[in-house]
Amino acid sequence: MNLLSDSEFLQLTPAEQDEYLRLLETDLHAWRLTGNKRQERAHILVGKTDWLLYGGAAGGGKSELLAYHAHELSMKYPGHRSLLIRTALPELRRSLIIRSQVRYAQLNVSAQLRSIDNVKAWWYDNGSVIEYGYCSRDEDVGQFMSAEYDFIGFDEATQFTPYQMLMISGRLRTSRKMTKLGVRTHVLFATNPGDRGHTFLYRMMVQATNGGRYAVVYDVSDGFDDPDIVHRVELPDDNERLAKLDIPHDPNKHLVIAFVPSTVDDNPHIDPSYRKHLSMLPETERKQKLLGDWDTFTGQYFTEYRRDLHVVQPFEIPPEWPRYRGIDFGTANPYACLWGAWNPADGTCYVYRESYQKNLTAAQQAMLIRELSKHPNGKAESITSSVIDPSTFSNVSGLGQTVASVYNSLNVPVTRAKNARVAGWQNLRRYLQPDPESGEPKLKVFNHCENLLRTLPAMRHDNINPEDIDTDDEDHAVDALRYLLACRPYNEISRRRKDYQPGAEGRVQKLIDKLDRSAKKRKW
């Protein structure tokens, strides 16, 4: 196979010429994914899932993975059909077509790049085809409705609408002959965070997998609007154990999905100056393209949230720390209960447990909370206070008594939570903000509180009242957190906190301060 002729090269745009020359400089004797462990991890998981999301920061090797994977399938399975797609032709040509032209010429791949009926594709000697498509509007999906593919790869997937992603993914179909050869239909979404498809992929693939910690099995037998999660499978950290992992599922009704996050630092082949230029972007774009932060998006309410700052490994809560519970009631919608403990030394609240479930009666919720509020030895925790959604003091829910009274009768004593929404959200934001001195926030969440961690960063501003959050979002755990933190408002723990030197000097100063406060309270 020949490289581009001079006339073909001159037909490229300046940006495409730069990309072509950069790829030519690559010393490539055999096309392998080497050096980028996240890229290798994604390549392992794409063979075990129906949908895989790979990406985060710019420069993570996303287009390279798409091109490599489609080529590998085409060589391995004669007659294999792949679709690699973007929203616009110029980007498609620059990111995927030129890349493949250079790679195939370097490797002497037995394939020809042809355009038939305005469709550009690689036609392999073994009958395999890699088609390149683009789809900028929802109406454009019609051009793919009569096609069938064994593999579909979305390059910069968040630039597509959810409708486009679902409709084009619906063209996956293979034959019994190909199935016997080992072909399995699947989709690979490669992208940076942000843009119009961000929320869809974030909710279905980032949140659900707890940022890539699990593979998730959805039951899609009744559609994909709000599928139930059948189970989650924790993914091992090292790639060798990951390669041996089995994800049990029913191929007739289950959709297996996974997410592999990436940052610019994962790619050892990236130009060092590239990172510098990404660091100069506006804050939201910088977090997305430099840090690969999926928890940041336009319209986000809690922009202060950062997984690396706010999520911690569980530890045993000291017995002297005061403990509280915040409860948001629900039946058809999930109820949420959060347990929080405050460190008396610095005022940090640690959310150390959650309960989140729908279709439970008030009595079932109370009994579950009571059971969970026990030490390993079976002894009940000492709870300073439990606050609950104020509506439960008037909501009888057909019981003849209020929900709050049901809780109280089952030895889960509750009081009315503070329900000032905007003030409550501002208090929560203060807890999320890093302390100016220590750089640490006053809110930490144990990493097994998955529903809170899944929904907290996804809250959006309300369209009518931007000071409030959009109540159409899944806000149950976040409401419970608002109630919990209002038990000890930030301004109170901030005034109360003072650091003392260790040893006798610090104890003396603490005693002097205590006497001073007592003196100020005396009436003369």
Q: Domain spanning 34-289 has what CATH number?
A: 3.40.50.300
The domains spanning 34-289 and 310-488 adopt the same CATH topology: no
Question: What is the pLDDT at residue 197?
Answer: 85
End-to-end CA distance of the chain: 98
What is the number of alpha carbons within 13 Å of residue 398 lying toward its C-beta? 2
Residues of the chain with pLDDT under 50: 28-29, 517, 520-524
Question: What is the pLDDT at residue 399?
Answer: 65
Backbone angles phi, psi at 336, to 5 degrees: -135, 135
Q: Give the separation between CA 70 and CA 153, rounded to whole angstroms.
A: 8
Note the pTM of the prediction, 2 decimals.
Answer: 0.65
Q: Which alpha helices (DSSP H) does 149-259 contain, by range?
A: 162-169, 176-181, 198-201, 239-243
Question: What is the pLDDT at residue 288?
Answer: 62
**Is 388 within 8 Å of 404 (Cβ atoms)?**
yes
Q: Give the separation between CA 361 and CA 363, rounded to whole angstroms.
A: 5
Could you read off the pLDDT of 377-404 as tens digits, one per residue? 999 999 999 999 999 998 666 667 899 9
Q: What residue ranges do the domains of the chain occupy?
A: 34-289, 310-488
Q: Across-strand partners of 153?
A: 84, 188
**Is 356 within 8 Å of 477 (Cβ atoms)?**
yes
Of the candidates 125, 61, 134, the one whose C-alpha atom is nearest the C-alpha of residue 91 is 134
Q: Give the separation between CA 282 and CA 284, rounded to whole angstroms.
A: 6
Question: What is the pLDDT at residue 436?
Answer: 84
Could you read off the pLDDT of 427-485 as tens digits, one per residue? 999 999 998 888 899 999 999 998 999 889 888 888 889 899 988 888 999 999 999 99
DSSP helix/strand/coil, 343 = coil
What is the number of alpha carbons within 13 Å of residue 64 lying toward its C-beta? 21
Question: What is the pLDDT at residue 1?
Answer: 53
Question: What is the pLDDT at residue 20?
Answer: 62
Say if domain 310-488 classifies as CATH 3.40.605.10: no
Token reading at 242? 């990951």
Residue owning tokens 């503070």: 418
**Is 162 within 8 Å of 168 (Cβ atoms)?**
no
Question: What is the pLDDT at residue 71?
Answer: 95
